[in-house]
Structure 1
Amino acid sequence: MLKATQDEIEEIREYFEWQAPDLEVTFMQKVYSEAVLNTRHNVWDIHTDKDRWWVITGGTNLYSQEQFPNMDLALTFHIGLMLRIPRTEEQQEDDIRILPFGPVFEKMEEASTAVTQAHRLSDYQAVGVRCREALLELIGVAQDAAMWKTEAPPQRANFRAWIEIICNDLLPSDTNKERRGVIKGALESAWTFSNWLTHSKSATWIDADMASSLMQHAIGMATSLIVRELRGVPEECPKCRSPHLEPQQGENTAAPGVLWERPHCADCGWTGRAVPIIDFEDGRPIISREGEDSDEHSIMTVPLRTILKPGDPQIKPLRQTETGPPEAIVYFAYGSNMSTARLRERMPSCKALGTASLPGHSLRFHKRSVDGSGKCNAFASGDDDSVIGVLFGFDPTERAALDKAEGVGNGYEHAMVTVINDKGRRRKVLTYIATPGYIDDSLKPYGWYKDLVLAGAMEHSLPAEYIDVHILSVEATEDPDKTRDKKQRAILGNSRR
């Protein structure tokens, strides 16, 4: 199994759940990675409650392991498919934007990929080497792309000398002192830290990730500045002083086969000096096509879920393999279970993973409880409302205990819903929804229950406006059972310690 960042895991999970909403992921791991023509393809083995899938990045797609029992077969098919899919006009324009900095971005990608696969000291040091290579590639490309003001050019690989020259040339005079300092500082920090990482005997994965982040940040700022200079783009329109300048591209009849670009003011129509940015003859595609388009050899533009035709023999499925422990269940709590102390009594392994919202639902205290009061429900309102709650991960062996505590079959039913977490990612998670026969809008919650909901909301810093409108404004009633009231408020006291 290859090392993967949490962001990678969430991105792949989000993609799979979007493409296969009827399946529940039970286990996932990154098993292989390969770069082809500067494109990185990571292969993920996804286990669900029904079957298994490959998810392959670099034009992310998913493939059933029933149809592709061999990983190499799936990867080969995927790479071939991605090479044949026509590049969109937008993608081609993006390629043009970074010319001639393509090699720099390739090395940045190599460093970033190396971070995800690093798991020992030598790997961390290798990340430092790749970051240094990307930074050196930057100044090398910059030297070839423009003539810089210097009496005696330093050696080509003298990084510090060249960033001094480039920054002073791009941002001259005292008026640019702070801007110049930011660019120099970012490049210097990235260079110094990458060199340290290359030789460090105590480096960690965090150091490797930091080196990659510093390098990407520094190169991003420097490249943007250099490209603007190469394109001759002023900070504002010299005619009307508008900052709304955009690139305008076209061909010159006097020089056919060459793409030119010039800045264009969206407000007054001013255009700047045109510069050549790509020679079409040098930009031939890797794969060329001949013949007319035909549905008989169409290229798939949707994820592949099945390729068997009626009458085809079934492909032998993969042998069952050891998958390791099942993934923790992720649960969306929106009522009293938002209180970690209360939930931990039911599921000792629970761990808060952040907040999330459930669109198209509203929080109601109208689920009839066995004690006669109203409990929370994420009611499917279908409008612009959202229920905000807390995501918890817990050991799957505790699922039965939670079902029992929630009263599954007696007012609540478990449901898999898609929420949006605090990072903006979609996630399919477990929650509990009131069954229609147990909904009574005349009910009120007991005071201790409302306070538990409020305590959980405050504990996890839910938005103040949401708390005011959906929790504090709800009218509660006193629990006639004083023993129960005291017991529940004891939990409330524990949550505040």
Structure 2
Amino acid sequence: MLKSTEYEIESVREYFEWQAPDLEVTFMQKVYSEMVINTRHDVWDIHTNKDRWWVITGGTNLYSQEQFPNMDLALTFHIGLMLRIPRTVEQQENDIRVLPFGPVLEKIEEAGTAVTQAHKLSDYQAVGVRCREALLELISVAQDAAVWKADASPQRANFRAWTEIICNDLLPSDTNKERRGALKGALESAWTFSNWLTHSKSATWLDAEMAASLMQHAIGMATSLIVRELRGVPEECPKCGSPRLEPQHGENTAAHGVLWERPYCTDCGWAGRAIPIIDMEDGQSIITREGGESDEHSIMTVPLRSILKPGDPPIKPLKDTEIGPPEPDVYFAYGSNMSTVRLRERMPSCKPLGIANLSGFALRFHKRSVDGSGKCNAFASGDEDNVIGVLFSIDPTERAALYKAEGVGNGYEHKIVTVVNDKGRRRKVLTYVATPDYIDDSLQPYGWYKDFVSAGAREHGLPEEYIARNILSVETTEDPDKIRDKKQRAVLGNFGQ
């Protein structure tokens, strides 16, 4: 399982719910990630109440695991599909972002094509020439794109001299010694090998392929650093320290027709200084296409449940079977378990994720407990009521303790509900509700229990109006078990109540 941010999880979940509204997500995790031609493809394993799916990003789409039981097969199919899909506006914007290096990318493409068409010695030597041209184009574009610190300006085509200047300027000081050495080494190696290949009398196709690979690697390293320098992109977010910085585009009302860009942190929302990157009236995309526009799409607008071949019978509906997928790993607490200290008695590794709202339910203290008092229940009222609670990430291995404490099978049952978190995103999460035979509206909670509920609500910043109306206004009864009462209030005391 790979690490993933809350933003990634919510985005993938929302996409799946949009594509398959008839299915209920019960478990999801990111299992694999691969970068292909500067596009990242994350593979997510999605369990539902009926079947399992792959969701693959980078042109997000979903694939049935019944049809694609092998993850590698699904990813291979997905990448091939994405290469056939017409470029979107977002992809065209990605081209704009590296416009200064458009000629360099064209040279790289020419070298790659030359490798695939090479069959004899002169072809292999021609690949060396193409690689040299790409490297020279790199330093030429770099000279025009920025002002570099140099005591004297060498000849424009002096590759080694300009490599030294650019590397020293991009990665100054002793702290960057190893980084600077790696970049210089990559560029020098690519340049030396390309020159050798150009004149070699014993070159092979493997040499041509190696030259192209060395050249692409070196240019990729240099281009990435130069672009970040030109855009003023820090190594990490200065606000939260996250390395997840993405370019954000926009226009300035005071300068129409100019595209601006600034670094944006996808984790905390920090945005850096915006700079103009292209005059959209004069700029051209690196890749252009000819021919009429079409609204046709290569991706189906409904979930891909099966792929038909000529002669195959019609697609049959999915089997209505349960395969027993794992339960969700996000829990919605709305009663005493909102108190982190209380929940951690049962699930030590739980972590609060923020508050959330459950619409169509009302908070009631009418669930009959084994101690004879009333406990909280999210009662499906079907009207405009709502229950506000707290989302917790939980370890699936600790669910048994929570099941036991909540009395699952003896008054409570687990349920998947759709809540809206404090960021306005819908989440399908785990919670517990009372079964009808354990509901008694005449019951009252013990005082210490209500205090746990109010303490948890205030701990996580639930609205005071909600707390006053739904919790503090509830009448309580005294716990006849003085030892239990004292023990629970001691826990509350440790919590600061």
Range into which the TM-score falls when normalised by the shorter chain: 0.5 to 0.7
Change (3 A) 1:327 1:375: closer
Give the structure-1-normalised TM-score.
Answer: 0.57
Q: 1:412: how far off?
A: 1.2
* SS in structure 2 of the partner of residue 210 of structure 1: coil
Q: Is the 8 A contact 2:306 2:315 kept in 1?
A: no
C-alpha distance in structure 2 between counterparts of 1:13 and 1:301, whole Å: 17
Deviation by residue 1:262-298 (Cα, 9 ceiling, x = unmatched): xxxxxxxxxxxxx957899x9536x8789x98xxx98
Structure 1 residue aligned with 2:237: 210
Matched to 1:44, the amino acid is W
Q: Is the 8 A contact 1:341 1:495 kept in 2?
A: yes
Give the aligned CA root-mean-square deviation in angstroms. 4.7
Aligned match for 1:103, one of 73, 98, 101:
98
C-alpha distance in structure 2 between counterparts of 1:58 and 1:467, whole Å: 43
Q: 1:423: how far off?
A: 3.2
Matched to 1:284, the amino acid is R
Deviation by residue 1:6-44 (Cα, 9 ceiling, x = unmatched): 4324432443455556455546224132345x6543333
Change (3 A) 1:200 1:352: farther
Counterpart check, 1:157 vs 2:162: no
Q: Is the 8 A contact 1:365 1:377 kept in 2?
A: yes
C-alpha distance in structure 2 between counterparts of 1:45 and 1:196, whole Å: 45
Q: Which stretch has the larger CA shift, 412-421 or 50-59?
A: 50-59
Change (3 A) 1:40 1:376: same
C-alpha distance in structure 1 between counterparts of 2:391 and 2:471, whole Å: 19
What does 1:16-415 correspond to in 2, within 5 Å?
A: 16=16, 19=19, 22=23, 24-26=25-27, 28-36=29-37, 39-46=39-46, 52-82=52-82, 92=89, 101-103=96-98, 156-158=145-147, 199=176, 208-210=235-237, 220=248, 224-225=251-252, 229-231=255-257, 283-284=288-289, 300-307=300-307, 310=313, 329-415=329-415
Q: 1:415: how far off?
A: 0.8
Q: 1:72: how far off?
A: 4.7
Matched to 1:231, the amino acid is G
Change (3 A) 1:388 1:201: farther
C-alpha distance in structure 2 between counterparts of 1:350 and 1:23, whole Å: 23
Q: Is the 8 A contact 1:17 1:427 kept in 2?
A: no
Structure 2 residue aligned with 1:455: 455
Q: 1:75: how far off?
A: 3.3
C-alpha distance in structure 2 between counterparts of 1:197 and 1:420, whole Å: 50
Aligned residues: 354
C-alpha distance in structure 2 between counterparts of 1:200 and 1:49, whole Å: 54
Structure 1 residue aligned with 2:222: none
C-alpha distance in structure 2 between counterparts of 1:106 and 1:410, whole Å: 67
Matched to 2:32, the amino acid is V
Structure 1 residue aligned with 2:230: none
Q: 1:220: how far off?
A: 4.6
* SS in structure 2 of the partner of residue 402 of structure 1: helix
Matched to 2:68, the amino acid is F
Q: 1:436: how far off?
A: 1.8
Q: 1:459: how far off?
A: 1.6
C-alpha distance in structure 2 between counterparts of 1:416 and 1:44, whole Å: 20
Q: Is the 8 A contact 1:328 1:395 kept in 2?
A: no
C-alpha distance in structure 2 between counterparts of 1:101 and 1:307, whole Å: 36
C-alpha distance in structure 2 between counterparts of 1:72 and 1:278, whole Å: 39
Change (3 A) 1:387 1:198: farther
C-alpha distance in structure 2 between counterparts of 1:304 and 1:28, whole Å: 20
Q: Is the 8 A contact 2:23 2:48 kept in 1?
A: no
Change (3 A) 1:229 1:375: same
C-alpha distance in structure 2 between counterparts of 1:329 and 1:215, whole Å: 24
Q: 1:367: how far off?
A: 1.7
* SS in structure 2 of the partner of residue 209 of structure 1: coil
Change (3 A) 1:156 1:29: closer
Q: 1:50: how far off?
A: 6.6
* SS in structure 2 of the partner of residue 372 of structure 1: coil
Deviation by residue 1:282-328 (Cα, 9 ceiling, x = unmatched): 9536x8789x98xxx98621221333664899xxxxxxxxxxxx898
Structure 2 residue aligned with 1:11: 11
Matched to 2:146, the amino acid is A
Q: Is the 8 A contact 2:26 2:47 kept in 1?
A: yes
Q: Is the 8 A contact 2:366 2:443 kept in 1?
A: yes
* SS in structure 2 of the partner of residue 224 of structure 1: strand
Matched to 1:472, the amino acid is L
* SS in structure 2 of the partner of residue 42 of structure 1: strand
Matched to 2:176, the amino acid is H
Q: 1:401: how far off?
A: 2.2
Q: 1:200: how far off?
A: 7.8
Q: Is the 8 A contact 2:251 2:258 kept in 1?
A: no
Q: 1:85: how far off?
A: 5.8
Change (3 A) 1:64 1:472: same
Give identity over the alignment, percent: 62
Q: Is the 8 A contact 2:100 2:145 kept in 1?
A: no
Change (3 A) 1:447 1:200: farther
* SS in structure 2 of the partner of residue 401 of structure 1: helix
Matched to 2:98, the amino acid is P
Change (3 A) 1:103 1:329: same
C-alpha distance in structure 2 between counterparts of 1:491 and 1:407, whole Å: 21
Structure 2 residue aligned with 1:252: none
Matched to 1:103, the amino acid is V
C-alpha distance in structure 1 between counterparts of 2:417 and 2:292, whole Å: 45
* SS in structure 2 of the partner of residue 15 of structure 1: helix
Give the structure-2-normalised TM-score.
Answer: 0.57
C-alpha distance in structure 1 between counterparts of 2:177 and 2:46, whole Å: 36
Give the unaligned 5+ runs of structure 1: 108-136, 142-153, 161-191, 234-274, 314-325
